[in-house]
Each structure stands twice: as structure tokens, then as C-alpha cells.
Structure 1
Amino acid sequence: MFRIRKEFHFSASHQLPHLPEDHQCARLHGHNYILVVELAAETLNADGFVRDYHDLKPLKTYVDDHFDHRHLNDVMEGPSTAENMARHFYDWCAARWPETSAVLVSETPKTWAEYRP
């Protein structure tokens, strides 16, 4: 299996108001997010790629236009957790690139959430 990954960055605020009042994530706060999309294929295309990295530019545009410097509670359905964002971006990517195999989202240098069906 061949796998490629591409990383994207964005900054956004969010709040998880359903958590207890004393939980730090219940308060308005922000993160410098890292989004990683992984694509996989059993064989390479005629150019020797799983997919050309340039083909992933629409994801950068989507992230920049809809998530960067936004309040995630206003742009996402459901709680704006890293887990839900990983699923959201996976669904968006898989609809465009069938080779999509996983999406990872980081809120901090030490925390990652992954969606892989």
C-alpha cells in the first residue's frame, strides 16, 4: 500500500459550552490547528503518484475560506471537537478523492484526533 500525506494549517476559535463550567474547553479559546489528509492506493497512477499533491489545493482553499480565523461553533455542525473536525474533513476529502484513507487534526503539539473508516 502506498500512502501520502499533506499538512494544512489554520487558526480558529471555538467553545464547548456543553462541558462543565470549570472545564477549560467550556470557555472561548483558540488553537493553531494542523490538518493532515492521508491518501492511499494499492498501485500508483501513470505519473507514479498516489495522487499529485497539487490536486489537493482545493482543500487549502476550503480551509482558508471556511475555517481559518473563524469561530468553529459558527461553521460546524455539532461540537467543534478535533474528532468531529477529523470526520468532517474526511467526508469532504473522500467526496473528491476516493484515495482518502484518513484525516488527522491537531489542536496542540501534543494532541491529535484521527478519523479513519
Structure 2
Amino acid sequence: MYRITKEFHFSASHQLAHLPADHQCARLHGHNYIVVVELAGETLNADGFVRDYHELKVLKTYIDEHFDHRHLNEVLGSSMSTAENLARHFYDWCKARFPETAAVKVSETPKTWAEYRP
């Protein structure tokens, strides 16, 4: 199996208001997010790629237009702005456009990652 990944970055705020008031994530805060999309294929195309990285530019455009410097509660809904839900959201978006999508990982901090992989 061949696997490729591409990394994307954006900054955004969110608030997990359903958590107890003394939980740090219940307060409005922001992150510098990293999104890593993984594509996989058993064979390569005629150019020797799983998929040309250049074709993934539409994901960068989508992130820049809808997520970068936004409040994620307004973009995804108040309870959907966790890293886990972001990973699923980006997976579904990518899978609809790139059938080779195998997984998406999202980082909120250098030490934390969430992944969606069916």
C-alpha cells in the first residue's frame, strides 16, 4: 500500500461551553491547528502518484475560506468544535473529493492529536 500525507495549518478559536465552568476548554480560547490528510492506494496512477499533491490545494482553499481566523463554534456548531469532530469533518470533506482518503489527523497543540480513520 502506498501512502501520502499533506499538512495544512490554520488558526481559530472555539469554546466547549458544555464542559464544567472550571474546565479550561469551557473558556473561549484559540489554537494553531494542524490538519494532516492521508491518502492511500494499492497502485499508482500513470504519473507515479497516489494523487498529485497539487490537487489537494482545494483543501487549503476550503480551510482558508471557512476555518482560518474563525470561531469554530459558528462554523461547526457549539458542541462540534473538538479536534475529534474536526478530524471527522475534514475526513468526510476529503473522502467526497479524493476517494483515496484514508485518515485525517488534527492537532490543537504540539502534544495533542486526534485522528479519524474508518
1:1-117 maps to which residues of 2 (within 5 A)?
1-77=1-77, 78-117=79-118
Superposed displacement of residue 24, structure 1: 0.2
Identity %: 83
**2:97 match: secondary structure:** coil
Q: In 2, Cα distance between the equivalents of 1:99 and 1:79?
A: 25
Superposed displacement of residue 11, structure 1: 0.1
Superposed displacement of residue 79, structure 1: 2.3
Question: Can you list the C-alpha shifts for 1:37-88, whole angstroms capped at 9, x where unaligned?
Answer: 0000000000000000000000000000000000000000342000000000
Superposed displacement of residue 30, structure 1: 0.1
Q: In 2, Cα distance between the equivalents of 1:33 and 1:97?
A: 22
**2:20 match: secondary structure:** coil
What's the TM-score, normalizing by structure 2? Answer: 0.98
RMSD: 0.5
**1:95 match: secondary structure:** helix
Question: Can you list the C-alpha shifts for 1:70-107, whole angstroms capped at 9, x where unaligned?
Answer: 00000003420000000000000000000000000000
**1:90 match: secondary structure:** helix
Equivalences, count: 117
Listed as ranges, the gaps of 5+ residues in structure 2 are none
Q: In 2, Cα distance between the equivalents of 1:110 and 1:93?
A: 25
Listed as ranges, the gaps of 5+ residues in structure 1 are none
